[in-house]
Amino acid sequence: MRLQHGIHLGYCTNIHRGESWPETFDALRRLTDAVRRRVSPDGPYGIGLRLGAAAAATLAADVAERAAFRRWLDETDSYIFTINGFPYGAFHGTRVKEQVFAPDWSTPERLTYTKQLFDLLVEIAPPGLEASVSTLPGSFKEFILPETAAEQRAAIRRHLRECAEHIEELAGRSGRDLHLGLEPEPLGLFETSTETAEFFADLLDGCGEEERGRLLRRIGVNYDTCHLAVEFETPAEAIGRLRDAGLRISKIHLSSALRLHPSPEAVAKLEQFQEGVYLHQVVVGENGRILRRHRDLPDALSAYAEDPDAAGAEWRVHFHIPLHAEPEEGFGDTRDHLRGLLDLCAADPGLCRHFEFETYTWEVMPASLRARDVVDQLVSEYGWVLGEFGARGLADRNLA
């Protein structure tokens, strides 16, 4: 939906199952439109589309399907302003874990897929509308092997530069502002604001003035408030570093993580968040310092069982929880980071115009956090988000 200061807000449809285009379109018609009718019945309604590689390939190849999709968007007064291009393959109902980072940006498959998403976006999004795609932070740290690290990093830089050229050509031809957002994530190739700035410095190294300008116009950062909060960063610190590096904030993901003080009772309760689909990295901090990172929640629980005295003062867990929901006793959340970022946006509304929330863990979260159906969940999240935007003069509507 369109808010104040040219801001667009939507939820990311990665919360719904669907890898093929027929499955994706079915979820849009059944679930996304049900949400639209409750939160924006008078339109226009912005959609943050998740389009996996299989669905994108079908849609790109089938003129009739693209025409049918555009007709549906027109009929429902809906529009696409952003696409989540991070998950390439299966994202629900099977083990995803670290494979959400594959294929990474060292591969031609990732480049081809992302270029295809921009081609589709130019055709599907309303004429002249600023449009974005979000993607992974280059790779997963474990994918970068010591013996081939130089070649892998060089391939990542080469493919991103080629993607920027493609986006620039599309932008010039379509008259749109188009941009790609690389999303820092715990244990990604870059995960903190410092590592993000260093990655971009490496990407820009050796570029001439023209190429440097193109890269900074067309490639920026997809800022996920859960991810940066898990890294124990504050919004002012993170945004300050990114802006000092001259980086564009392409899109903001509004999301919240679990936090806890690792008492025996809290750690025992945390076991209910173990599940076999997604990676739930745990970052341990104390006295303002990060002590250690655990690859996944079972690793953190095992380490605690072996040596509770080494647990640290606070754990932050990469497990997206509903924005409107209070976690049960013994847990906290990281909505303070989200609110702090919105405070910065209120002070500078031009910081970013694309906002999306994506509690994609709907199917695997404990029952206490998903007592209602997914449409109810999304409507409640819209209500919470619009309330926060409205309190800062960023929205003139609510769901009351």
Q: What is the pLDDT of residue 400?
A: 46
pTM above 0.95, yes or no: yes
Mean pLDDT for all residues in the chain: 96
Beta bridge partners of 175: none
User: Count of alpha carbons within 13 Å of 387, Cβ hemisphere only?
Assistant: 10
Average of pLDDT values for 92-103?
Answer: 97
pLDDT in tens, 103-141: 999 999 999 999 999 999 999 999 999 999 999 999 999
Query: Residue 77's Cα: distance from chain center in Å?
Result: 25
pLDDT in tens, 166-177: 999 999 999 999
If pLDDT is split at 50, 70 and 90, which confidence band does 396 have? confident
Domains of the chain: 4-255+334-391 (3.20.20.150)
pLDDT digit string (tens) for 246-268? 999 999 999 999 999 999 999 99
CA 382 – CA 385 distance, rounded (Å): 5
3-state SS, one letter per residue, for the chain: CECHHHCEEEEEHHHCCCCCHHHHHHHHHHHHHHHHHHHCCCCCEEEEEECCHHHHHHHHHCHHHHHHHHHHHHHCCEEEEEEECCCCCCCCCCCCHHHHHCCCCCCHHHHHHHHHHHHHHHHHCCCCCCEEEEECCCCEHHHCCCCCHHHHHHHHHHHHHHHHHHHHHHHHHHCCCEEEEECCCCCECCCCHHHHHHHHHHHHCCCCHHHHHHHHHHEEEEEEHHHHHHCCCCHHHHHHHHHHCCCCEEEEEECEEEEECCCHHHHHHHHHHCCCCCCCCEEEEECCEEEEEECCHHHHHHHHHHCHHHCCCEEEEEEEECCCCCCCCCCEECHHHHHHHHHHHHHCHHHCCEEEECCHHHHCCCHHHCCCCHHHHHHHHHHHHHHHHHHCCCCCCCCC
Confidence of residue 287 (pLDDT cuts 50, 70, 90): confident
Percent of the chain with pLDDT over 90: 95
What is d(CA 37, CA 260) in angstroms, rounded to the nearest whole number? 37
Inform me whether the pLDDT recorded for 35 exceeds 60.
yes
Dist. CA 178–CA 169, nearest whole Å = 10
